[in-house]
Amino acid sequence: MDNINYPESHKSGFVSIVGKPNVGKSTLLNALLDQKLCIVTPKASTTRHRIYGILNEPAVQIIFTDTPGYIKKTYNLHHAMMHDFSIALEDSEIVLLVVDPDEHFPEQELFEQLLKHKSHIFLVINKIDLYSKQKVEDKIAAVSKILPIAKVFRVSAIQKTGLEEIKNAVIDTLPEGPPYFDKQAISDKPERFFVAEFVREQLFLNLHEELPYSCEVYITTFKPDGNKIFIDAEIHVDKKSHKGMIIGKQGQMIKVIRKAAQAEIEAFLGTPVYLSLYVRITEDWRQSRFRLSQFGYVLPKQL
């Protein structure tokens, strides 16, 4: 670990990015890091795991966490997602509460959670490229009535405006301390994790309605051989009928998913990749404690 050379005044800390599904949390994290670490799709609740995105500068290490959007719990999967969410809040010095001006209030429950923690709350009004100034200011006024907001930022994560201001304010607020992770690291997750995420992203982009929510991706092989990395990924689905839809007529759909995911993985790893996909039926994986833990979810002890 290359953590010996950092100045005495080094600053470090955890910053969690929270908000309702689809407000642009993952887009914001990718933009702050200038790297595509989190998958982004127009569908709500794409992010299932807590992901650390690490921003390193010679005298600073900011550990951002992208959390799944705050949701109601209907499956054990959701319990695991929300468990991640409250851990992220507990760990963080600063919370970036991301809000879309057009959303009605983020759920009461989310606000109550935020009030319980002592982190500084930075309100980030995202997607300002879509709305009038008045709408943005009204939103700020409404949220400020309920929560003690330390600072307000008006940004467009997609157009990358207003991001420097967030970064500078975070650095000002973080305490002095040594780095928590290697100064070269960009995340705490292994490459395999991101590979599975890129496959999942294509499922969300190409399949309709509820189908992608019933899929999970599991990497069984990740093997460099010559100048290529050979990757086998299993796509687990709930139902037999879903398997047919993912494969598509004469395998057309799975072909599209495979090709697009492979290109994203190659861009991320910076090496040629050969991706193979296998669709498997695993009934009720969203409820099964065994399957959820196999897929990398940490369930709270009591449910």
Distance CA 69, CA 79 (A): 12
Is 47 a binder of Mg ion (CB under 5 A)?
yes
- The listed partner (ligand GDP, Mg ion, none) that binds 21, CB under 5 to 8 Å by sort, is ligand GDP
Is 81 a binder of ligand GDP (CB under 6 A)?
no
- Count of residues that bind ligand GDP according to CB under 6 A: 21
Candidate segments 39-47, 84-92, 224-232, 252-260, binder of Mg ion by CB under 5 A: 39-47
- Residue window 215-244: x/- pattern of binding to Mg ion, with contact defined by CB under 5 A: ------------------------------
Distance CA 203, CA 114 (A): 32
What Rg value do the Cα atoms of the chain yield, rounded? 20
- Judged by CB under 6 A, the residue of 26, 76, 187, 202 near ligand GDP is 26
Q: Minimal distance in Å, beta carbon 147 to ligand GDP?
A: 18
Instruction: Report the site for ligand GDP in 145-204 (rule: CB under 6 A).
Output: 156-158
Q: Residue 283 corresponds to which amino acid?
A: E
- Judged by CB under 5 A, the residue of 12, 15, 17, 26 near Mg ion is 26
- Judged by CB under 6 A, the residue of 34, 90, 109, 129 near ligand GDP is 129
Q: What is each CA distance from 231 to 192, 216, 218, 293, in whole angstroms?
A: 9, 16, 11, 21
Candidate segments 28-36, 46-54, 108-116, 291-299, binder of Mg ion by CB under 5 A: 46-54
Residue facing ligand GDP at closest CB distance = 24
Distance CA 56, CA 231 (A): 29
b/e map 152-177, b = 16+ CB within 10 Å:
bbbbbbbeeebbeebeebbeebbeee
- Judged by CB under 6 A, the residue of 130, 142, 281, 303 near ligand GDP is 130
Is 27 a binder of Mg ion (CB under 5 A)?
no
Is 25 a binder of ligand GDP (CB under 6 A)?
yes
- In the complex with ligand GDP, the residue whose CB is nearer, 56 or 126, is 126
- Judged by CB under 6 A, the residue of 12, 16, 27, 65 near ligand GDP is 27
- Judged by CB under 6 A, the residue of 11, 14, 18, 24 near ligand GDP is 24
Is 46 a binder of ligand GDP (CB under 6 A)?
yes
Residue numbers of the site for ligand GDP (CB under 6 A)? 19, 21-27, 40-42, 46-47, 69, 126-127, 129-130, 156-158
Residue numbers of the site for Mg ion (CB under 5 A)? 25-26, 47
